[in-house]
Structure formats: structure tokens, C-alpha cells
Amino acid sequence: MKRLSISLLGSMQVRLDDQEVTAFRSVKNRALLAYLSVEAHHTHDRSVLAGMFWPDHPETAARLNLRQALFALRKLLNVEGTEYIQVDSGTVRFNARADVWIDVVALTDLLAVCERHPHADRADCPICAMHLAEAVALYRGDFLGEVFVGDSFAVEEWILLKREWLRHQVLDALDDLTTFYLRQAAYDQAYRYAWRQIELDPLNENAHRQVMLAQALAGHRSAALSQYEHCRQVLAQDLGVEPAIETVLLAESIRTGDLKPSGMTGETRGSTDFSSPIRHNLPVVQTPLIGRQLELDHLRQWLLAPDERLIVLVGEGGVGKSRLAHAAARKVVQHFRDGVWFVPLVGVGTDARVVETDTLRELLATTIAGSIGLTLHGKTDPCTQLLNYLSGREILIWLDNFEHLLPATELLWAIVQSAPRVTILVTSRERLHFQSERILQLTGLPVPAADALDSDTFDSVKLFVARACRVWPAFTLNEANLAAIVQICRLLEGLPLGIELAASWVEQFTPMEIAAAIATNVDMLATTFQDFPERHRSVRATFIYSWRLLSPGEQTTLAQLAVFQGTWSREAALRVTQASLADLIALVHKSLVQVVAPGRYTLHTLVRHLAAEQVAAIPAIERVARDRHCSYYSELLAAHETHLRGDHQSTALTTLDAERPNIQVAWEWAIQTARRDDLAQAARSLHLFYKYRNHFQEGKELFARVLDSSHLWPDTSAWQNLRGRLLVCLGDFALHLGQYAEAACLLEQSLRLLHDVPDGTRETALDIAHAMAYLGLVKERQGDYTAAKTMCQASLDRYRLLNDRSGMTTALRSIASVAEGLAQYAEAEGLLHESLALSQEIGNRRESALTLNLLGIVTEMQQRYTEACHYYRQSLQLFSEIGERWGMHLPLGNLGDVAFTLGNYQDAKSYYCAALKLLLTSWAVPYMLIQIYRVAAVLAAEDRAEQAVELLQLPLHHPALDQAFRERAEALNASLTAMLPPDRLAAAKVRGRGRTLVQVVNAIADLMPSFAHQETY
């Protein structure tokens, strides 16, 4: 069997064994092979590839070009028994399991081996040095350096991003190799790798310093100084800057002969004595740091900056502060003449809240002195002795786990003021509250979306796999367990400690079992590993450690915040907890409350769970917090009702979108505790929110849960009024779900209840008007136009009496819709123009969009197609502007009808597919059935009768299809029946009747591959 070799670094070369493959038809074919081979871990949709490589071509032409390119590549790489590029009707995939070698894959695999290898510092590891040397040897030049695909932005962007990423990885590897060989006193090799960096990046000043070091330490002082002059000239010519102070000081030490061999790298923090041995007491870490590269780069930069003296790593327990601080300290250990010193503070001043501040400060000074090797003498104050010792030294002090020693921060400030060459790195769950501190706030590692195609590239997933492999070497990441690992990472929001504790169970449980256990039992996240700090052996222990550092008032506030879900506003937090803004900010500074945006907060899932346990232990506090929470969100909903019906609708919907998780929790609490006023206050706005966001089924279920408990309500007029209002909302949801019989029953029941309410208020009258309007729409869908018009007219009369202009616009449009169904087009147009003027006057753009769409239908029925398309496009534009993508399906489908009538079947299919794709987000069955009928009509017009019959069966036999469209579907079915032979007709009907809605949608996607990636205009 021949081996395929693909070299993409430098000039692209493809070989089958020893024979070079050169007969590529075009540069684009070469780029396509490169893309498929590098992205071999993905299956690619044909339509996406075609659009990516031939973006300026119509879809049909682009797919034809792709088909020809794939044919040419497969022919070119033809080896009997081996299929390097696997294709089917809809997808393309490179066969990575074949005997294939790709230099990019080989290089990244070698780097991945180094990332997984346990070491404290890659630049100190001889095993990784071997792998890195092999990796950089593969880098013959830039990725696809001679390939340019100018007519495809997407392909060119992919090449450029991959090129820059690989260049960055190789430069990092060369930097570590140079450092490794400098430390080994192998100066010739260090020089070679440093010079390779300059070849790739002539402005890399660090590489110039490394070349200078290697030459100077090898005894070539003149060459080292010449290199300095060369560096200075390059920087001046290309950037107009002078060398950095580190470079100048290094050159000076070489010129004066003060530089002596010591295993140093090419960076200095100041006037360092290079002959001194490296001094530090950093602990040995057995596991590599995974991820955090950006944070590590920031820390390294700050630690070496003379004006950054106090750097604080802040984050919740278990987020990886100490691990990141260790990695950063290792990176700069050679740049502090007098050493880098680790000061562990766990257990120091444990009872800090009851220890006097002076005593605590002395205790901290004594602990620092012990760690840096300072022996304290006599009766002199330990703080004074420490400050005197540090005043002339160049030291980095890492204070780990400082949060319980905050009263002693005055000592840190004294060090900063009196010792100008001392830098302090602090890890703490709380800020120090100095204006001069540089804060790096740590949160969880990035987690993939549930359906992300590149989940295995996320650091949270990599961490789980790395730790799982240490526990159980046989563990492997594969397609079977990837989804469960992603779920674990998402449940834990990327918290490194949680991920490591979860991974410790892989020998006993599958990732799927671990994910299920975590979802129900936080105590699953625990370990007995002896090398875990005691406070990190369980997530619970980590939380309890933080909890005990809180004041009683802070504990109460945090416990009450646990009633919130998702994110929440500052106003909501203060209202529910009755805490002060200072209390809330204190919890932020203690890394227990997270800021997600200015004025919006959240709790980590695990913190919320454990804090909820605390509040549940005090039922009275929990009840009060939940009652306040319920009242707040009920009032919020009520306050937005006018906006939802007027000119601030889009803003109101956006606001409620952000609050949706908390609205749902408040609603459930109101049901559970029978809070009638809150339910009544929230019902209308909540109904409109779910309706306008097209969450019909979810809304119906939410409202039905209230009525399920209504048998427990007292038999009073107020409760009767609430029951009637809920029935109105339920009826409307059923209407939009195509459940017309149920909708009619619910709405008629609501009218009976509301008419019987004694001394009905304006609110009751509005509920009655809404019920009549919705019932009129139900009758229209059922084809009973007379009853529909009567009911809609009655609702309009009531809205006019109540001067409810929003209701009037809806009723006018509903009557016009009935008139259109009765072919009374002149009357319909007059009503619609009245409705449009009114909706524009009150600023209800959604109503305007719906009215414009119906105006289009009325003019289309009169064969005024240009005018109809104008209305449809206005409607489409309005829906787009207010962000209601679901509503866009209405004008899109109707534009398709115009195209179909005019014989433009391809355009009609594009419109219909776009409309159907939008409907998938809400699974609005009645409207989906209409689009399916429309697609069937196009297929019939294209002489694809059997496929049309198959699709037509579902809408024909589904009760949710609108009566007007049912009549059209029946007419189409009759014509198809006359066209097909009986046996083929019968077989097509059997196939169609056996399909579910999901299967029909999938069938359309198979018939029209563009459907899966249809733009939604």
C-alpha cells in the first residue's frame, strides 16, 4: 500500500511513496486538499465547502465546481483499495485512518505530547526538548506560503489564521529550546535555535538577546556586541524605537565582562549578577499547566515590568490561581537577582478575625522571613527587620492564599514603598483594595457549546482528558465519550478543581455516569488524593473555607442570592436581599459573586448550589427571599406590558430575554405558594413575551401548571378573574400550536368565566376582548368565516370602548384577514390601511410588520405582484429590524408564492426553505405544515410528482393545517392523483403517511441540500 505524504509548511508538496504528485488542475484544488487534510477531524457539508471555495458563484455552479474538484483530487490520489477523500451525496471527509502523513499534523501532535507531559517548565524538560526539536525541524516555512486564493475570503482567512497560529507555536518552541540549551551551557545549539527565531521574526528582541547571550557565554564577546548593534539598527529602521532596557543592560554586562556562564536565558529584569546561582524555593509540580496562555503572558509581562510592584491573582476557590502563579513564577525565576520565593499562607493566622491587626502583621512578616531565608534576631519588630532586609534586594515574593490575612495588608504596602526592587505576587479569593494593585481576575476555563464541532480543542476538555489519563492510563477521548465530557465541563463552568475531581472517577465510572451524578450530587466532586490540599479535596470543602471567611451579614446576603438563576441585575439583587451595594461589592471582591457585565451578576453553579443549602437550612430567610424575588419579577413583567404592545417592544423583549430564567423561577414560586396577585400581575406580559418569542409550547406548559393547581384556590371573584385570564393566554398558545379545537374550548370557557365575574373591572373587560379576538382567529383557521368575522368585530367594539389602540390594530387586521378569506379585497385593504396607520401611530412595529404582510397577500390575490412584493419586503425589513426572526417566515413564504406563480421555481424553493428553517427554532407546527405544502407544490411543478405526494401526506392529514391551505393541499393532491399510475401513487402515499414531522423536514433537506445552510435573508 502506498503512503500519502502531504507537506504544507513552506511550498506545498504531495507524494505517493517516492513519487511526487504535481498534476493539480488549479491552486484552488491544492487549497481544497490542504483544507480537507488539516481539518480531517470534521465531516464537511458539500454546500458549506462549495460556498466557502466559490463564494461568488450561484449555488448550483459552486456545487458543480466542488464536484469537479473532488473528482479530480480523487483521481489524482487514486490508489487501489485506499480512499483518501470520502464523499457521499451531502458530505466530504478526509480519511485520516488511511496511511497518511501530514507535516502540520505531525508538528501539532509533537507539541501536544509536550503539553501533556508532566513537568514544571517545558524549557527545563529534556524529553520535551527532544520533541520540540523534532517539531521545529518540520517547519520548512510558512503554512501554505505559496498558496493564494484571492477570490475566496473564507479560504484565505483560514490559511492566514492557521499560518499565524503555527508560526506562533513554532516561535514559542524555539524560545523554549534556546532557553533549555542555554541552561545546559550548550551555547552552539542555543545560538542555532535563537537565530532561527530571528529568521522567522527579525523584530523579535527577545531572540536577539538570546543570540547575544549564547555568543557571549561561548566566549564570542565581539560577535555578541555586533549582534546588539544589529538589533538596535533593525528596531530603529523598522519600528523607530530603541532597544528595551533589558537589552541595553545585557549589552552593558557583556561589554564590561560582568556576564559569566550560569545557565541564563536571554531576558533580564535589571542589572542582574549573572554569576549568581538561580535562587528559589518554588515547589515541584507534577502536572503541566493546561490552558491559561493569555493569562500567563499577562502575568509574565507584569512581573518583569518595573512599574508593576503588586500583582493580585483573584478568583474563587479551585479556579487555578496557585497553579497559574507557579507557572508565572517559573517563567521569571532568572530575572530576580535575589530570588523568587514562595510563601504558603494556609493555616497562618487561621483565626484572623479575632487576632489583633498588629499581631497578624508580625505573624505575616515572620512567615515571609522564614520563606526567603531571613533569620530574625532579638527584640526588634519582625516587620522592621523584614523591611530593612528587603530594601536593597531584587526579589519576587509570591504570597499564596492571602484572603484570610487581609487585615495585614499594610505590611505589603510598606514593602512596596520601602523596597523599590521587590515585586509581590498574591493569590487570593479577595482583592487587597489598593489602588496600585494590578488585578487579574480568573474565571473557569473556556467550555465548548453543547454542539461545538471542535470541542476537543477547548482547554477544559483537555484538562479533563489529561487528568483522566493520569488516573487511568487506558482512558482515551473518543466520539462515544466526548459529549459527556463536554457536559461535565459545562456543568462545572470550566472550574479546574471541579474538572480534576470529576476526572478522578474515570476508573470507576464512565463520563456519562459522572455527568449524571454531578447534576444531582455535588458531593461527587471529591477525592482522597493525598497530594491535594485538604481545602481542595472536595468542592464542598472549598466553599466552606470561603463561607467561614464571610461576616454573618455577608453569609445571609450570599445565601439569599442563591434564589436567583442565570444572571441578574444590581437592582434585583439589592431588592431581594435588602443588602447594601457595599455588601454586594464585597461578595464580588471575595470572588463569590461574578460580574458578567456592568450592573449584572451571577453565581457559579457550584457556589449557587452550596449557598442554596445554607439558605434552605433557615426556612424563614428562604421564604422571605423567594417572596421578594417573586414580587420583583412580577412587577418587572407588569411594568413592561405597555412596552410590549408599543414603540419600545424590541427593548422590552431584550430586557425580558436576560431575565427569563429568573422569571420562570418566580412564576413557579407563585404557583407553589398561590400568590394570586403576582400571577395576575405577570400573566399578560409573560404571555406576550412567550408569544412574541415564539415559545408557544413552553408558554402553554407554564400557564397550564397554574391551572393544574387551581382546584385548591378559593371560590372568589378575584381568583375567578385570574382563572379566566390564564385560560385566555392558554387558548392563544393552543391557537399558535394549531390545536384549534382545544383553543376554541379554552377561549369559550374563559369567556363564560369572565362574563360571570361580578363588578368586572377594565382589566376584566380587556381579558374578554382578547378572548374574543383569539377566538375569531380560531374560527378563521377552521374555515368558519361568518363566526370569525362576528367575533373579531365584537372584540374591535370592546377595544374601541376601552380606547385600547393596540387591541384595535390587532382586531382590524383580524377582520381584514377574514375579509381576504372571503375574497372581499377592497374591504380588507381599507381595514388594513386603518390598522397600519394606528400601529405606526403607537409605535407597534410588530403589528405594522404583520399588517404589511397581510396587505401583500390581499394585493397578491388581485395579481398586483409588484405591489405585493413591495409590501412583503417592507414586512420582512421590519421583522428583521425588531429582531423577530421567526416572524420573517411570513413574508418569506409569501414572496415564495409570488415567485412560484411567476414560474421562478428556484427562487420559490429558496424562500420556502428559508421560511421553514426559521420555523425550526420554535417548531410552530401550523406554519411548518404550510411551508411543507408549498415545497410539495414546487416539486409537483418540476415534475417530481411522487416526491410531492410523499411530502403532501403530512399536511393533508394533520389537524393543525389552516383550512384555506388544506383546500389548496387537497386540490394539489387531486391533480397528482390524476397524474400518477395507481401503484406508484399508492406506494408514495404509504411512504409519506409513515413519516413524522421530523422525518419530513429531513426529507426536504435531502431533496434540497441548500436547505441545511439556507440564508434567512
Alpha-carbon dihedral sign for residues 228, 233, 236, 238 = negative
CB atoms within 10 A of CB 567: 18
Judged by phi (left if over 0) then psi (alpha if -120 to 50, else beta), residue 101 lies in: beta
Instruction: Please report, for residues 62, 187, 269, 295, the alpha-carbon distance to residue 179 in angstroms, rounded to integers and kept in the order given.
Output: 50, 10, 16, 21
Compute φ and ψ for 211, nearest 5 degrees. Answer: -60, -45
Secondary structure (3-state) at 711: helix
Residues of the chain with pLDDT under 50: 262-277, 352, 354, 1012-1017
pLDDT of residue 193: 94
Tell me the pTM.
0.61
Q: Which residue has the cell 483573584?
A: 314
Closest CA to 489 of 253, 291, 741: 291
Please give the order of strands across the beta sheet that includes 600-602: 567-569, 600-602, 594-597
CB atoms within 10 A of CB 741: 11
Amino acid present at 816? A
Length in residues, the chain? 1017
Closest CA to 136 of 182, 98, 189: 189
- Cα(356)–Cα(408) distance, rounded to whole angstroms? 10
Judged by phi (left if over 0) then psi (alpha if -120 to 50, else beta), residue 318 lies in: left
Q: Which residue has the cell 415545497?
A: 935
Closest CA to 365 of 401, 328, 330, 397: 397
350-368 burial, b at 16+ Cβ within 10 Å, e below that, comes to eebeebeeeebbbbbbbbb
pLDDT of residue 529: 59
Contact 960, 926 (CB under 8 A): yes
